[in-house]
Homo-oligomer: A and B are copies of this chain.
Amino acid sequence: MTDMLKLPSFEDVLAAEARQRGVVRETPVLSHPALDEMAGAELLIKAECLQVTGSFKIRGAMNRLAQIPPEGKAAGVVAFSSGNHAQGVARAARLLGMPALIVMPADAPQVKVDGVIADGGEVYLYDRNGESREEISARLAAERGAVLVPSYDDFDIIAGQGTAGLEFARQAEAMGKQLDHLICCAGGGGLINGVALAFERLSPATKIWTAEPETHDDWARSLEAGEILANAPGTRSICDAILTPQPGNLTFALGQRLLSGGLRASDEEVLHAMRMAFRYLRIVGEPGGCVALAAALKRLPHGLKGKRVGVLVTGGNVDPAQYAAIIAGTA
């Protein structure tokens, strides 16, 4: 089946970069000796939580929406998302002058709902445990004649997220610090596989690893099994941004070629990583955005010890009360 899928390439990532110009921000690469000591490795941490809309999702959204032809603009776009893709799509739609309707779970962090509304997006709330967001979104898109913008399993979304990898590989090279390994969170896998496309060309020796909540380790298990495996339904984690049921078809086809394996972290380890990002990097990371850092600090495999390891902190959209409780150590 894999060979029938049309998969993005390095050139598609480069083309995405041109479509993002003037909107997407180059996010910095940070580090701290205390974090290196905790990990037992040299960590270079790309703070993608400082991206426009507070996560990498604007990259894919710009790449997809910029390709909607003029005659499709009036009907606009529909997307479903727990919040970061929502904000990326809403911002891209506003910048490109089209309406956006976002289907979000009723328990999405308020800060994410507010972000969509601030960009003029319409919000449709659904029950995460009852209704199917795919069905709702497909129906709403059909009613409006709008373009449905998937959050990960899409050629242009994967290529668009990949520009984070172009940047990271170039930044590491400019620092004279080629990465031995790179750890990136994986929900649906759009970001990590786009990033891996960039590294495959620019830094082919770098091994790429997924990071997931240990309760949602579908990527780790799927990569090991060589087939797509799902998470048990109903499992929970604080990492709201990356709780997808299973790897996508496109993303898994890429991942089988590009990824070395999967790491895991507990919610408690994620909270610790958020505190360390606050303290040593002075960046605000959300739970799902810090799972790769958590895996690096607490679960780095033996083979990565002593190496130079890139880590992506991918989002920083977290409600103030929740963040305060985490930083104060009461959550």
Contact = CB atoms under 8 A, between A and B. Distances in A.
Interface stretch (A203-211, A238-246, A322-330): A322-330
Contacts of A317: 282
B284 A50 contact: no
A49 B275 CA distance: 16
A282 B281 contact: no
Interface in A148-200: none
Contacts of A275: 320
Contact of A278 (B25, B30, B34, B284): B284
Contacts of A213: none
Interface footprint category on A: 20 to 34
Interface string A281-316: 111110000000000000000000000000000001
Nearest to A55: B282
A149 to B, nearest CB: 21
B316 A327 contact: no
Copies in the complex: 2
Nearest to A47: B50
A282 B28 contact: no
A282 to B, nearest CB: 3
A236 interface: no
Nearest to A315: B282
A25 B30 contact: yes
Contact of A283 (B34, B50, B118, B320): B50
A279 interface: yes
A27 interface: yes
Q: Which of A54, A281, A282, A324 has the most CB of B within 10 A?
A: A282
Nearest to A331: B324
A26 to B, nearest CB: 7
Given A26-B28, A28-B26, A28-B27, A279 B320 contact: yes
Nearest to A32: B52
A305 to B, nearest CB: 21
A320 B316 contact: no
Interface string A17-38: 0000000011110100110000
Contacts of A232: none
Given A54-B282, A320-B329, 11 more contacts: A25-B28, A28-B50, A50-B283, A275-B320, A282-B317, A283-B283, A283-B284, A284-B284, A320-B328, A323-B324, A324-B328
Interface of A: 25-28, 30, 33-34, 47, 49-50, 54, 111, 118, 275, 278-279, 281-285, 316-317, 320-321, 323-325, 327-329
Q: Which 10 A-B pairs have the closest CB atoms?
A: A282-B316, A324-B328, A282-B284, A324-B324, A324-B327, A28-B28, A49-B282, A320-B327, A54-B282, A50-B282
